[in-house]
Amino acid sequence: MRKFINTFFSFTLLVIILFTEFGTLNASGTKTENSELIVAQQTDAKTLDPSLTTDVYSQNLTLNIYDRLFDWTADVKIENTLAESYEQVNPLTLQVKIKKGVKFHNGDELTAEDVKFSLERSSKAPAVASFMGIIDKIDIVDPYTVNIVTKKPFGPLIGNLAHGSAAILNKKYVESVGDKAFFEPLGTGPFKFDSWKAGDKISLKANKEYFRGAPGVDAVTFRIIPEGTNRCIALETKEVDIVFAVYPVDMNIVKSKDYLTLHEVPSLSTTYIGINFQKTYLNDLRVREALAYGIDLQAIADTAYQKAAIVADSFVPPAVMGVNKNLQHRKRDVAKAKALLAEAGYKDGLKLKMWVNENQARKDAAVIMQDQLKEVGIDLSIEVLEWSSYLDRISKGEHDLFILGWPTSPDPNETMYPIFHSDNFGSGGNRSFYKNEKVNELLDKGSETLEIEKRIPLYEEAQKIVYDDIAVLPIVYPSDFMGTQNYISDFEPTPRSVFLIRNVKKNK
């Protein structure tokens, strides 16, 4: 008997050691490990409320916590997510059938009530009005069918419903806990919220019951590392598995290590100078032209972006439908810039302030512009702001100039309407506070037209007007760079400059 007990004890101890030291064993005897993915990004999420922001750092989290009726794939095609099927039943009504059996992270089943609540809530939110404000109401047909009714015919509707601001929330949860719902968010997405230490990290856990299949890792932690070089050093020393946003100046840190991979994705994004039309001196076209002719965009692309960006001719990137190919960026002409400035009444010079966030390439670009514009007679001071404060203050119009990026989709409405329509002043996207009634008319007509071939000429004409007005000053179409450890697989960077992690695996 004692021999049996000793043998049983030894066997039990061996099993405990195996489980402790080597992970768990599945039914086939293959070792499995609890895998946590560590992702470094520049900035903390501004909010986890999808209706309050469009910034990529917040969407890196919300796109993975919540689902939408539709999504953009990594190769920028629309796919059904929560939508089972859809039909345009009349020019104002899109009927969507919702997948049955989809569960929120607390076990509640998704129904049409949640869809109605979420989309109507977003449609009233100023920060995302350029995407969701077109929605008039949501009618419930049955527990799994809704009619999305728009205020007018709207060609880009499905694309807008794939935007992060169209996330589907748990109605019962939001109504019961209020604002707490966005500090401890609850969605149907592939990852569940775990914890948030502001300015340091946000942790997520895998939703093992996810209706599209369990994620490839058990947990994800987004670490906030503001300085680009420090992010890459953390990758080099294997403190992190993935770096979101490798700046051009740091690319060699990743390239030099054979255990790391640098991913380059030409983005559907434009980096641009926003110009505050509310300031009298900037509302003068001659001053804006002096700025445009005083800057050498190619030098910025070559130096600040290390030749990893293309000089922008139009605000609309080349891969977007309806880009006006007849536009060309203004070449630097110091004499012309000086003459324009003098003609505007600033022959003795003009002082301007430019705001940037912590993005290294943008900081470097601002320094180059500062030096170039000095020759023209523009004294440019530069201020670097923390991301959340930066977005808030430029949305309030406190700036002269700013540098920002606008990631978009293949549809020209998403590219142009938020930035140039006067309905979207401030946080809606138009942070230049630019207003041109003809542009408004063209953008309205472009969105109301359902046939893409009839929409394209409208956006081409609008591009020419904002180019002539210098409503903003496009700088470059940048590539996005991300670094990963070689043991990371199924990593699919997206041209929309956001980070999707459902399929990522850590083979270590």
> Tell me, what's the pLDDT at 23?
40
Whose tokens are 């999504």? That residue is 71
Do 402 and 501 share a domain, yes or no? no
Whole-angstrom distance, CA of residue 429 vs CA of residue 406: 9
Side-chain-side CA neighbours of 314 within 13 Å: the count stands at: 23
Whole-angstrom distance, CA of residue 291 vs CA of residue 329: 12
Say whether pLDDT at 496 is over 90.
no
Say whether pLDDT at 428 is over 70.
yes
Do 344 and 464 share a domain, yes or no? yes
> Tell me, what's the pLDDT at 33?
56
Beta bridge partners of 379: 351
Whole-angstrom distance, CA of residue 203 vs CA of residue 209: 18
Give the mean model confidence (pLDDT) for residues 277-290: 98
> Tell me, what's the pLDDT at 390?
95
Residue 302 lies in a domain: yes
| Overall size of the chain counted in residues | 508
Residue 18 lies in a domain: no
Say whether pLDDT at 253 is over 80.
yes
For residue 46, the one-letter residue type is K
| Domain containing residue 239 | 26-65+189-259+486-508
Residue 301 lies in a domain: yes
Q: Out of 12-26, 136-150, 314-328, which region has the weakest mean confidence (pLDDT)?
A: 12-26
The vertex-431 CA angle with 307 and 125, nearest 5°, equals 120
Q: How many domains would you assign to the chain?
A: 3
Residue 437 lies in a domain: yes
Do 464 and 383 share a domain, yes or no? yes
Do 401 and 288 share a domain, yes or no? yes
Whole-angstrom distance, CA of residue 224 vs CA of residue 232: 13
Q: Out of 71-85, 289-303, 460-474, which region has the weakest mean confidence (pLDDT)?
A: 71-85
> Tell me, what's the pLDDT at 27?
32
Residue 14 lies in a domain: no
**List of E strands, 357-491:** 378-384, 401-407, 472-485, 488-489
The pairing of strands 201-206 and 191-197 is antiparallel
> Tell me, what's the pLDDT at 450?
86
Do 444 and 495 share a domain, yes or no? no
In terms of pLDDT, which residue wins out, 32 or 206?
A: 206
Q: What is the mean pLDDT of the chain?
A: 92
Label residue 389 by pLDDT band (50, 70, 90).
very high
- What CATH code is carried by the domain that includes residue 139? 3.90.76.10
**Which residues does 199 contact at the CB level (< 8 Å), separation at least 6?**
44, 224
The vertex-386 CA angle with 383 and 392, nearest 5°, equals 95
Q: SS in 3 state form for 157-226?
A: HHHHHCCHHHCCCCHHHHHHHHHHHHCCCCCCCCEEEEEEECCCEEEEEECCCCCCCCCCCCEEEEEECC
Of 147, 173, 199, the residue at which a domain comes to its end is: 173
> Tell me, what's the pLDDT at 10?
45
Residue 200's alpha-carbon distances to 44, 45, 55, 222, 230, in angstroms, are: 7, 10, 18, 8, 14
- What CATH code is carried by the domain that includes residue 31? 3.40.190.10
Residue 8 lies in a domain: no
Q: What is the pLDDT of residues 444-457, one digit of tens each?
A: 999 999 888 999 99
Whole-number percent of the chain with pLDDT over 90:
85
Candidates 189, 193, 165; CA nearest to 177 is 193
Whole-number percent of the chain with pLDDT over 70:
93
Residue 4 lies in a domain: no
Do 407 and 456 share a domain, yes or no? yes
> Tell me, what's the pLDDT at 76?
83
Whole-angstrom distance, CA of residue 337 vs CA of residue 322: 31
Do 392 and 378 share a domain, yes or no? yes
> Tell me, what's the pLDDT at 273?
98
290: helix, coil or strand? helix
Label residue 74 by pLDDT band (50, 70, 90).
confident
Residue 6 lies in a domain: no
Q: What are phi and psi of 441, to 5 degrees?
A: -60, -45
Say whether pLDDT at 335 is over 60.
yes
Do 463 and 507 share a domain, yes or no? no
User: Which pair of tokens denotes residue 92?
Assistant: 């104002």
Do 145 and 165 share a domain, yes or no? yes
How far from chain centre, in Å, is Cα 191?
18
> Tell me, what's the pLDDT at 34?
66
Whose tokens are 């004409």? That residue is 461
Do 195 and 53 share a domain, yes or no? yes
Say whether pLDDT at 413 is over 70.
yes
Q: Out of 74-78, 357-361, 416-420, which region has the weakest mean confidence (pLDDT)?
A: 74-78
For residue 180, the one-letter residue type is K
> Tell me, what's the pLDDT at 474?
98
- What CATH code is carried by the domain that includes residue 315? 3.10.105.10
Do 403 and 359 share a domain, yes or no? yes
Q: Out of 18-32, 228-242, 488-502, which region has the weakest mean confidence (pLDDT)?
A: 18-32
Say whether pLDDT at 5 is over 80.
no
Do 162 and 209 share a domain, yes or no? no
Q: What is the pLDDT of residues 7-53, one digit of tens each?
A: 444 444 444 434 333 343 333 333 345 699 999 999 999 999 999 98
